[in-house]
Every structure is written in structure tokens, then in C-alpha cells.
Amino acid sequence: MNTSPESPAFPTAEAATLVLPGPAGALEAIAEPGEGGSRRAVAIVCHPLPTEGGTLHNKVVTMTARALRESGIATVRFNFRGTGASEGEFDDGRGERDDLRAVAAWVRQQRPGHALWLAGFSFGAYVSLALAAELQPGMLISIAPPAGRGWDFDAIQPPDCPWLVIQGDADEVVDPEAVYAWIDGLDGRRAPPEVVRMPETGHFFHRRLMDLRGAIKNGIRSYLPAELAPPNG
């Protein structure tokens, strides 16, 4: 692991575990370049609730990142404060927004001219949604956003960027009807999000992870940015 206090470089050839400077101390992250014809975008993928075992290694998070990379999008997964090797303490979504803000600033410094995409699962979906209006991502992906679970979703007004929401209809943690009602109640957007309702699918997408991968790749296909030119092309 890179333990330098300086901001590390974004990897160009293979995955790298990095230490990024964060507002509450070091943030553990894994950055991975896109596969095949890499595209001008970097997606940050936020993990579920740390107090319930959520980390950057969560299977939904890693499958989301895999689907993005297979589509040519570089990805960054990171542990929120107090999780894994990240310093600090859990802050119920407040400090975690600052963590995401710091990671996004690093991505934009490392990849100027690339679109910033935001993705998140459960608590990570809340954090990314709460900061989306400020960060103005090129694409927003929300998997099982925890509407109705105590966080202030009424204050969230996602920006008018492409937005994909994926929700299991048999979710035992997040009430699917609360998610759909929240989306239906949003105003001020030029267009509603694309909502993928996955039948017979629980919160952690057990036995449905490949279906999740397909839903992500299909949902983002129309919004993929231009491919990067080959290094010597």
C-alpha cells in the first residue's frame, strides 16, 4: 500500500491500493483503470453502512465497479472514515460527505477533462445523492437508496444529469415503496431517473449480482463518453 502523505497518482495499467488525504485523516482506496477502450470518465463507488459491515469490498460495490470498468470507465472505491484502514470515526453521513468531496477533488485533479460519475449502494447511495448537486456528476447511479431509513432524503434534489436507480422489489432492508414514492415526489428535474425494478431481489442482490451487472451496463450504455485515444495513436 502507498503510505506517502502526498496525493498518489491515478493508476494507468492495473489496480492500485492507495492512501488518499481526507478531512479526518487518511482514506483507504482502490483505483482501477477502465478496460478495453477506456473512456473519459472516472466513477467513484460508495459503500453501504459501515456500522453494519459495509466496506469497499462489499459484493454489490465490487460488482458495480466491475460493470463500470467493463464499460471502459475507471473506478475508485474507498472506505469512509473509520472503516478498514481509513482514519476517523463514523459520522452518520455528515463527515462521509466530506470524505467523498475529498476523493472527488483528487479524481478531478488527477483526471482533468474526464467526467466524474457517482455511484453508491444503500448508505453509499445516500451519501452520493446528498453531494450530487454540489459535485455535478456526469452520471449518477443509485442502488437501493435508503429512503425512509432516517436520513434526510427530503433535502436531496439530484442534478439534471443522467440518473440510474436500481432497486430490488424484495429488499428486506430498504422499503422499495418508500424509494419509489420518494422518486415520484421529486420536482424540479427535467427528466425522471431511469428506474430498474428487479423482481425477487433482496437488498444484497444474493444470486442476482450478474443481473445487477447487466442492469448497470445496459443503463449506462447511452451515456458513455468518448473513448480515449491509444497512447501512441
Kindly report, residue by residue over 172-190, the tens digit of the pLDDT: 999 999 999 999 999 776 6
Domain ranges, ordered by start, for the chain? 16-222
* pLDDT of 228: 82
pLDDT beyond 80 at 120? yes
Indicate whether 26 pLDDT > 50. yes
Share of the chain above pLDDT 90, in %: 88
**Position with higher pLDDT, 211 vs 6:** 211
* Statement: residue 233 has pLDDT above 60: no
Instruction: Please identify which residue in the block is written with the cell numbers 478531478.
Output: 108
* pLDDT tens, position by position, 189-215: 667 899 999 999 999 999 999 999 999
Q: Is the pLDDT of residue 47 over 90?
A: yes
State mean pLDDT over 3-27: 88
Are residues 191 and 160 in contact, defined by beta-carbon separation less than 8 angstroms? yes
Own/partner long-range contacts of 83-87 (Cβ < 8 Å, ≥24 apart)? 83/28, 83/47, 83/50, 83/54, 83/55, 83/56, 84/28, 84/55, 84/56, 85/1, 85/19, 85/26, 85/28, 86/22, 86/25, 86/26, 86/27, 86/28, 87/22, 87/24, 87/25, 87/26, 87/27
Mean pLDDT value across the chain: 94
Q: How confident is the model at residue 98 (pLDDT cuts 50, 70, 90)?
A: very high
How far apart CA 36 and CA 28 sit, in angstroms, is 26
CATH architecture of 16-222: 3-Layer(aba) Sandwich (3.40)
Residue 24 main-chain phi, psi, to 5 deg: -115, 15
For the stretch 122-162, pLDDT in tens is 999 999 999 999 999 999 999 999 999 989 999 998 999 99
In this prediction, residue 189 carries a pLDDT of 67
> Model-level pTM?
0.95
Q: How confident is the model at residue 37 (pLDDT cuts 50, 70, 90)?
A: confident
Rg (C-alpha) for the chain, rounded Å, is 17
DSSP code string of 46-88: E---GGGT--TT-HHHHHHHHHHHHTT-EEEEEPPTTSTT--S
